[in-house]
Structure 1
Amino acid sequence: MKNKLQKITTNLWFDTQAEEAARFYTSIFENSKIGRITHYGNVGREIHGMSEGKVMTVEFELEGQAFIALNGGPHFKFTEAISFIIHCESQKDVDYYWENLSQGGDEKAQACGWLKDQFGVSWQIIPENITDMINNTDPERSARVMTALYQMKKIDINALKRAYNG
């Protein structure tokens, strides 16, 4: 990462898998890279409980957005209250991100384009025009799209288009 910091950076708290997660995510997204990796020292060990030399943080980018992964211990877990949205241009994109991010994830957490990955992070993999379909001024069109959407795990763009067009 360059010296210029992004105004807002997402920090993801992992138990001990920060580097594994960062490498997993950067292997999926094309415009991505691993940056600095910091390690715990002896200072603060009574607070953080990590052994000296253990990875503390991993800076990484996904599609040009900066993230930090932190090995902070098991104190906090991810919930669906926070998720990352991937806007997809095609069914091929939906399929690609779904197949890769859902590997080892929680199948019970899959619904309406949402999935939870192997680290417990929630993702929404949606077509880029879904908001327009759902917010259409014709309430019947948007209702048909929502009805179709609620029946899906992974999004089927053609099925949503058929629902939208009646």
Structure 2
Amino acid sequence: MRISSFLWFDGQAEAVATYYTSLFADSGIRDVQRDPEGRVTTVDFTMDGQGYVAHNGQPRYPHSRAFSLYVEVETQEELDALWAKLVDGGEEGPGGSLVDRFGVTWQVMPTCLRELLRDADAEVADRVLDTLHAMTRIDIKALVDAHAQR
């Protein structure tokens, strides 16, 4: 058994898979299926070892911010570089979210965020969360500073 995310696009499946696999290590296109006329129907690919299927299914089902791809990064430099690539041609959203050029929502978060939000002092955790919600692209130092305020 294998579980993969199935992403619906309007004619962009191959471009999506090619672009996404260029952004992450341990990524690649596993299979491209075509209809009898040679048009791409589905692309089976991996990002960071995780399986995905991009399908050209017409504009019937648009993407929604209710579903997003979540990426954790270690450093501000890593966050900034990935953010710049993903938001190119798309738009920034609140609290570390963005919608890429293909209409897919991403959450780009620092790995330290989980620990900052686990503080036993609810006021500290709330302050970190308020700081996060006031941002678009995440500023790790600002989150750490919000946590350190006593």
TM-score range, shorter-chain basis? Answer: over 0.9
Offset from partner CA, 1:106-146 (integer Å, 9 cap, x none): 24xx1100000001101000011212212321111111101
**3-state DSSP class of the match of 2:59?**
coil
Number of aligned residue pairs: give it: 149
Q: Show structure 1 runs of 5+ residues with no match.
A: 1-5, 42-51
User: Which one-letter code corresponds to 1:156 in the other structure?
Assistant: D
Query: Which position in structure 1 is the counterpart of 2:115?
Result: 132
**Equivalent residue, structure 2, for 1:88:** 73
TM-score, normalised to structure 2's length? 0.95
Greater helix content:
2
Q: Which amino acid aligns with 1:22?
A: A
1:70-89: CA deviations, max 9, x gaps? 11111011101111110111
Aligned letter for 1:86? V
Ranges in structure 2 where 5+ consecutive residues have no aligned partner: none
Q: Name the counterpart of 1:111.
A: 94
Q: Superposed, which structure 2 residues align to 1:27-66 within 5 Å? A: 27-41=22-36, 52-66=37-51
CA displacement at 1:101 relative to structure 2: 0.5
Question: How far apart in 2 are the matches of 1:15 and 1:137?
Answer: 46
From 133, 138, 150, the counterpart of 1:150: 133
Distance 2:108 2:88 in 1: 14
Q: Which digits, 9 at most, give the CA deviation of each residue in 1:48-87, with x for residues without a partner? A: xxxx211001111100011111111110111011111101
State which of 1, 11, 20 in structure 1 corresponds to 2:15.
20
The equivalent of 2:87 in structure 1 is 102
TM-score where L is the length of structure 1 = 0.86
Q: RMSD of aligned C-alpha atoms? A: 1.1
Summarize the alignment of residues 70-81 of structure 1 with structure 2, pairs less than 5 Å apart.
70-81=55-66
AA aligned to 1:8 is: I
Fraction of identical pairs, as percent: 39
Q: Which amino acid aligns with 1:148?
A: T
Following TM superposition, the consecutive aligned residue runs of length 4 or more in structure 1 with deviations greater than 3 angstroms are: none
